[in-house]
């Protein structure tokens, strides 16, 4: 059985399309919430999802969702993401043919123009050359493999980098479909400014900076 795990925090304006996509396909949907005060919880319950409510922080929420999930396959995906046509077939094929690997989607932003294409191209290069897809590309992984590598750490930032490092290049596979993510943060903060800030943070993390301390810079 496939379990979909969606971390949320005041994600009501994004969540509904994703729930409509995964609802007809997935037998078990867990919305793991960090204290939403908008319509997030109501939307989740109306869709038939189960709620795992507790402290906020994406690492904590993802780990909590995995504990609540019932499936022998886990699909972690962000609330502000929708999936392109063919995603369900790509997931089914991966579970059948590549049980020893984890899967992630190609990245795209829901915006047009040069900057969204540049960001998507950079993510493609990072994923292929460095074997470093991020959480906004989704993560499909068997429960057995998830538990073997120790799952998500209880971090508020770079929990996705930690689990990808634990997997290693040989246990990663790109799925033939796209995870289309909201460009709202890029458009609000500026594509270049947000991109450079994210690059600065991952460099600091790579050289040993505490992810909990970097969180303050990320959310500044």
For 79-102, what is the mean pLDDT? Answer: 97
Structure pTM?
0.94
pLDDT digits (tens, 9 = 90+) for 42-65: 999 999 999 999 999 999 999 999
Taking Cα atoms as reference points, which of 97, 100, 119 lies closest to residue 108? Answer: 119
71 falls in which pLDDT band (50, 70, 90)?
A: very high
201 falls in which pLDDT band (50, 70, 90)?
A: confident
pLDDT digits (tens, 9 = 90+) for 119-155: 999 999 999 999 999 999 999 999 999 999 999 998 8
Q: State the Cα–Cα distance between residues 14 and 210, nearest whole angstrom.
A: 30
For 166-191, what is the mean pLDDT? Answer: 95
Q: HSE-up of 15 (CA within 13 Å, CB side)?
A: 25
Q: What is the mean pLDDT of the chain?
A: 93
Contact present, 3 and 71 (Cβ < 8 Å): yes
Q: How many residues does the chain have?
A: 220
113 secondary structure, DSSP code: S
Strand pairing category for 139-142 and 2-8: unpaired
pLDDT digits (tens, 9 = 90+) for 6-48: 999 999 999 999 999 999 989 899 999 999 999 999 999 999 9
Top CATH class, 2-187: alpha beta
Strand positions, DSSP E, 65-191: 73-76, 81-83, 102-109, 139-142, 172-181
Contact present, 56 and 30 (Cβ < 8 Å): no
Phi/psi of residue 179, nearest 5 degrees = -100, 115
Q: State the Cα–Cα distance between residues 105 and 139, nearest whole angstrom.
A: 8
Query: Helices 191-206 and 114-129 meet at what angle, rounded to 10?
Result: 20
Q: Note the pLDDT of residue 220.
A: 65
For 214-220, what is the mean pLDDT? Answer: 72
Tell me which residue has tokens 């943060």.
Answer: 185
Q: Please say if the pLDDT value at position 207 is more than 90.
A: no
């Amino acid at each position: 059985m496939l379990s979909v795990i969606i971390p949320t925090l005041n994600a009501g304006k994004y969540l509904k399309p994703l729930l409509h996509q995964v609802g007809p396909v997935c037998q078990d949907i867990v919305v793991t919430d960090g204290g939403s005060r908008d319509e997030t919880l109501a939307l989740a319950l109306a869709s038939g999802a189960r709620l795992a409510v507790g402290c906020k922080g994406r690492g904590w929420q993802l780990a909590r969702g995995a504990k609540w999930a019932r499936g022998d396959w886990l699909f972690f995906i962000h609330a502000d993401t929708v999936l392109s046509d063919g995603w369900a077939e790509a997931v089914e094929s991966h579970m059948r043919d590549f049980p020893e690997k984890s899967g992630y989607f190609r990245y795209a932003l829901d915006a047009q123009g040069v900057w969204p294409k540049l960001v998507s191209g950079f993510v493609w290069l990072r994923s292929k050359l460095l074997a470093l897809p991020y959480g906004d590309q989704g993560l499909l992984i068997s429960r057995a493999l998830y538990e073997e590598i120790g799952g998500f750490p209880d971090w508020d930032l770079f929990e996705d980098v930690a689990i990808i490092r634990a997997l290693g290049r040989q246990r990663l596979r790109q799925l033939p479909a796209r995870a289309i993510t909201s460009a709202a943060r890029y458009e609000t903060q500026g594509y270049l400014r947000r991109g450079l800030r994210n690059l600065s943070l991952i460099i600091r993390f790579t050289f040993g900076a505490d992810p909990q301390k970097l969180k303050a810079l990320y959310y500044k």
